[in-house]
Structures are given as C-alpha cells and as structure tokens.
Amino acid sequence: MLRYLGLGYRRFGITPLKSPPRANWEFFAVVSGLCAPVLPGESGSELKANTLWVFPPGSAHGWSGNQRHRAYITAFHFGVVPVQLETAVRERGHLVLPLEAGERKRLVALAKEIRPEFQQPDRLSNLKFQGVLVELTLHALRKLPLLKVPLPPSPARRTADAAMARYSADLGANLSVADVARAVHVSVSTLRRVFHATLGEGPIRVFARLRLEAVMRLMAESTLKLEEVAEICGYSCASDLCRSFKTAMGITPAQWRRTRLSGPGYIRK
C-alpha cells in the first residue's frame, strides 16, 4: 500500500529534512534542482540532479540541498516492495539511479495521477497504487546490471514471507516468535536464522514494523480512535501504541495523522 506521497518544491538548504528511521520503502527523486541524502554519521553527500534514490525501511537519512535554489521532488513510500527489488536494495544499502528527461516527467505524472486517490481512497485505489509500485520497481531494476537482478524467492525467503503473513493475519493476538515458528513448521532458531539471512534483521524487529505499518494504514484509511487501533493491532492500550509509535517515528500518532498528506517541508502543487 502507498503510505506517503510527496510532490513539489523543497528548500533543503534552508530547512533540511531530517527523519527518524523510516518504517517504509522510499522512492525519492529530484526532478529539478539539486539535493542529496544525509546518511547517519555523515555531514552530507555530493548534491545530485536528475536522480532517483531507493531506500529500505530502517534508514534514518535526511535530505540536504542548494541553499539558494529550490528542488522539485517526487516521493513515494510503500510498506512492501517486490522481492527482486528488496534483494537488490539490501545488497547495496540503497540505490542511486540517474533519470532521463522522459523518466522525470513520468514520475511527476504518476504522482499527479494518484494524488486524488491518495487523498480520498476508494475500493480501486490500492490496485492503482500497486500499479505505480510495479512501474517504479521495473524502472529501478532496469537500471541495474542484468546479471545482478535477483532471482525469485528462495525456500528461506518463502518461509520468511509465510511467517510475516501469519503474524499480519492476526495482529490482535500479538503472536510471539515461538507462535509464528510453530505456525510455519520451523523451530524458533531456524526462523531467526531465516529472517537474518533473507531480511537482515530478526523476527521481533520485522513483526514490530509490520504492526506499525498496520497502525498507519488504519489511521490513514479510517477514523478509528487510537484505543480501537491499539486493540486491532495487538497493543495493550493506546498509551502503549503511542510510546511505540513515537519511538519509531519521532512523532505521536495524532501528529502523524494530521500531517501525513503534506509531510514536513513539502509544498504540494
């Protein structure tokens, strides 16, 4: 599902955009002007024009730019991406891909096409968002060397996918790692090994992110109170949800709900 959509001008040099570790996959493109990611522990990277970056969940980068001039950007955040792209990104940390003029124009057109759906979703919106994700994924993978495009999922990855699906199917039960391991017919140690081998992190962190994504989806698509969201997603109470959310995102659920469409520093066109 599309979690966030950004389109417009940004003065990164005046008000640099910083972020806590992201809960989603990010496709960020500079269409005109200059900008660059600021990675944790670094003062900044070389400013680039006409570039698409793809970052995985957990990245805590910020953005910088030219202090005198605005940059025009597009940004798409998704909860999950196709496994081929996920593997390619995790092998490299993140992707930095050049954009031709036609490609930049297409990214802006995509953002404008789905913006009404993002603001007021209907029963077909998620299908349209999925189409955008597929187009972005194909665009990124076609920029990579052909022989390095990963193959379909391995047995280990299928086990990890089955475990994530089982956990997501019953969030309210707040299943333990042992519960999920039994459900997919492996030991706890095997499940942990599979997660680290295929996803680069343990099941506890992955499950926490899945639960957080479910919280954001419910807050974005409904008017449910936090107490109701907490119950559906397996938190003990609304306060527990708020603590977990703020730790991960740096803001409270209420603040996120109010600002999710505009995003800090973006001027929508």
Q: Band of the pLDDT at 43, cuts 50, 70, 90?
A: low
Q: Please give the share of the chain, as a percent, with pLDDT higher than 70.
A: 88
What global pTM score does this model have?
0.61
Hey, what are 204's tokens?
């506890």
For each of the domains in the chain, give its residue range(s) and CATH number, in order of start.
2-150 (2.60.120.280), 155-257 (1.10.10.60)
Asked if residue 180 has pLDDT above 70, the reply is: yes
Cβ atoms 62, 16 nearer than 8 A: yes
Average the pLDDT over each of 22-26, 168-172, 216-220, 242-246 and give the range with the smallest value: 216-220
Q: Band of the pLDDT at 203, cuts 50, 70, 90?
A: very high
Q: What is the pLDDT of residue 123?
A: 80
Asked if residue 19 has pLDDT above 80, the reply is: no
Q: What is the pLDDT of residue 63?
A: 86
